[in-house]
Amino acid sequence: MRVLTTPQEAFERVTGFDYQPYYAEVPDQDGGTLRMSYVDEGPRQGPVVLLLHGEPSWSFLYRKVVPVLTGAGIRAVAPDLVGFGRSDKPADPADHSYARHVEWVRSLAFDVLDLRGVTLVGQDWGGLIGLRLLAEHPERFAGAVAANTGMPTGDRDMPEVWWRFRRTVEKAENLDVGRLVEGGCARPVAEEVRAAYDAPFPDESHKAGPRVMPTLVPTSPDDPATEANRAAWRALAASRIPLLTAFGDSDPITGAMGPVLRGKVPGAEGQNHTTLENAGHFLQEDVGAELGEVVAEFVRRIHG
């Protein structure tokens, strides 16, 4: 496996995200190891929230959420997915798969950090990965927040706006990551924020992760990930783990997935839903502090 690492100097101009990055090695599932980066803030003995970002962002996305959580006495752990942020970047798209990304996060969260009583916050691919972990390792979780995400099986077609996004990512000669994030926001994004999303990808060779992730979303019933996702849905349907759906009101990509989660997961019944106003797909960017308050209150309810 050929692996690239973004030079540290690429992050020196990132502002508003001064948290210390930590690093850990996880098996690459090909006989070697990969280095994953993560932010770990707040009291180590407090309830822990696992913040999983999606495509094509990195833990910087949670910079407005983390201080709200730590201010409420909550430990906030925000990894960079393999291929993103400060984490190692397998250069061959074939080295990425849905199953591998699930296992990479599992290894970091459970084998390395030994997180227990976790409240998941998963947005976009953070939900596709995190909901699988919740279903497959329920003993590790106290609850979950699904934020503009779902867990496709390929039995339903994705919306046309998502297909347009996939075609853009696949065909763009120069993939403009900062612009992609801005396009998924309901509010203007400052130039320095766009630059921060670009920082992990100094050239096209580092962008295999962002380019390949849309192709790993199950879009047909015979997709390699379909059976595992179906099994995860069955496990969640039999679970009573509390699940809160927190969706932006301006996200055409995942808006339809909220009712699906609430209809299939018993722990999402009742009042476990909130709609965040003026929030697009990247609701952490649009209304990060508000999302942080929603998550903090949910954690308080879970832990009494």
18 is annotated as an active-site residue: no
Query: Of 53, 96, 101, 281, which residue is the catalytic one?
Result: 281
The terminus-to-terminus CA distance of the chain in angstroms comes to: 46
Catalytic one of 80, 95, 124, 286: 124
Is 40 a catalytic site residue?
A: no
Annotated catalytic residue, options 88, 95, 223, 251: 251
124 catalytic? Reply is yes
Give the active site residues.
Answer: 124, 251, 281
